């Protein structure tokens, strides 16, 4: 935000220095953005009336960038045209002096900074998949009931592994009878997995669904710890 405000206020040298402090590669790796910032700096020098300083800056900073670059050379000529007018508002390129021009430059720089920071961040999906695999292994070791698992990380579809162990549904079973034909108390029903089975019907698993699946598995782990202290 401070860098953007510096550009909008015409403090171009400050904006460039702060950008390099954030990441020197932002300007070093983008010649067009570097030229735009220095062109805006030249405009600010002309606005302030520093004719000699503007000429020196253009020759030292912008001319080398414009060599062999027709688009850059044209923009440099448009900027230098301002020096031919005592009343800058009468110049045919007076739009370079508007606040909108500052805003455009600020937006270009802001987008480059955000793009650089985004690339530097570690992607979350691999980390989430590692968490998912760990939660599945932990839950499988702590309780015998089957639950939807993701085994193919490319397909990323939770599937219920069918085993010979306890089923998830409450199956109807005949009540055992005592010696005189009286029904005894029925055994408690098998605990039903609370893992959202709706995930098993999804064609794919996005990052948010993967996180929901991880949370569900963590709930199962906590429940297993309470049931088996």
44 lies in some domain: yes
- Asked if 116 and 148 sit in the same domain, the reply is no
- 3-state secondary structure string across 59-104: HHHHHHHHCCCHHHHHHHHHHHHHHHCCCHHHCCCHHHHCHHHHHH
The confidence score (pLDDT) of residue 129 equals 74
In the chain, how many domains are there? 2
Please check whether residue 7 is in contact with residue 40, taking contact to mean a CB–CB distance below 8 angstroms.
yes
Residues 9 and 35 in one domain: yes
- Tell me how far apart the alpha carbons of residues 192 and 213 are, in angstroms, rounded to a whole number: 17
| 57 and 83 belong to one structural domain | yes
- Identify whether 33 is part of a domain: yes
Asked if residue 89 is part of any domain, the answer here is yes
Q: What is the SS3 assignment for 207-227?
A: HHHHHHHHHHHHHHHHHHHHH
Q: Residue 159: what pLDDT?
A: 76
pLDDT in tens, the chain (229 residues): 689 999 999 999 999 999 999 889 999 989 999 999 999 999 999 999 989 999 999 999 999 999 889 999 999 999 999 999 999 999 999 999 999 999 999 999 999 998 887 754 555 667 677 778 778 888 778 777 777 887 776 666 777 765 554 444 443 344 444 444 444 455 555 444 444 443 444 444 455 555 566 666 666 666 666 666 5
Predicted local distance difference test score (pLDDT) of residue 109: 93
Tokens coding 186? 């029925």
69 and 147 together in one domain: no
Give yes or no for a contact between 175 and 186, defined as CB atoms under 8 angstroms apart: yes
Same domain, 19 and 55: yes
Rounded CA-CA distance 200/222 in Å is: 22
The pLDDT, as a whole number, for residue 166 is 46
175: in domain? no
Q: Are 7 and 100 in contact (CB under 8 A)?
A: no
Does 6 lie in the same domain as 93? yes
98 and 159 within one domain: no
Domain range spanning residue 135? 124-163+192-227
**How far apart (Å, rounded) are the C-alpha atoms in residues 66 and 76?**
8
Residue that is last in its domain, among 57, 87, 120: 120
**Is residue 211 within 8 Å of residue 125, measured between CB atoms?**
no
* Residue 82 · residue 93 · CB < 8 Å: yes
Domain co-membership, 47 together with 99: yes
176 in any annotated domain: no
Give the global pTM.
0.52
Of 96, 120, 144, the residue at which a domain comes to its end is 120
Looking at the fold, whether 114 and 13 belong to one and the same domain comes out as yes
How far apart CA 71 and CA 163 sit, in angstroms, is: 69
48 belongs to a structural domain: yes
Angle at 65 between CA 61 and CA 69, to 5 degrees: 150
pLDDT of residue 81: 95
Q: Where are the alpha helices (DSSP H) in the chain?
A: 2-8, 12-22, 25-28, 31-47, 51-57, 63-66, 70-80, 99-120, 124-142, 207-227
**CB under 8 Å to 115, separation ≥6 — which residues?**
none
The Cα 184–Cα 181 span in angstroms is 9
Residues 74 and 136 in one domain: no
Q: Say yes or no: 131 and 105 in one domain.
A: no
Residues 135 and 155 in one domain: yes
Q: Please report whether residue 213 resides in a domain.
A: yes
Tell whether 97 is covered by a domain: yes
Indicate the angle between helix axes 31-47 and 12-22, nearest 10 degrees.
150
């Amino acid at each position: 935000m401070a860098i953007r405000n510096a550009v909008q206020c015409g403090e171009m040298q400050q904006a460039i220095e702060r950008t390099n402090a954030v990441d020197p590669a932002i300007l070093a790796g983008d010649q067009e953005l570097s030229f735009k910032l220095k062109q805006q700096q030249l405009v600010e020098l002309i606005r302030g009336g520093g004719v000699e300083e503007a000429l020196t800056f253009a020759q030292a900073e912008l001319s080398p960038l414009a060599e062999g670059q027709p688009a850059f050379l044209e923009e440099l000529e448009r900027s230098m045209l301002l020096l031919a007018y005592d009343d800058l508002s009468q110049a045919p390129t007076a739009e370079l002096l508007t606040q909108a021009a500052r805003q455009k430059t600020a937006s270009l720089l802001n987008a480059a900074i955000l793009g650089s920071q985004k690339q530097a961040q570690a992607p979350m999906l691999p980390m989430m998949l590692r968490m998912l695999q760990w939660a599945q292994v932990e839950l499988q070791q702590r309780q015998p009931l089957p639950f939807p698992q993701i085994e193919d990380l490319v397909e990323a579809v939770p599937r219920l592994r069918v085993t010979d162990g306890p089923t998830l549904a409450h199956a109807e079973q005949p009540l055992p009878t005592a010696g005189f034909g009286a029904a005894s108390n029925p055994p408690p029903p098998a605990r039903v997995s609370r893992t959202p089975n709706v995930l098993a019907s999804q064609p794919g698993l996005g990052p948010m669904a993967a996180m929901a699946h991880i949370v569900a598995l963590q709930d199962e782990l906590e429940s297993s710890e309470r049931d088996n202290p």
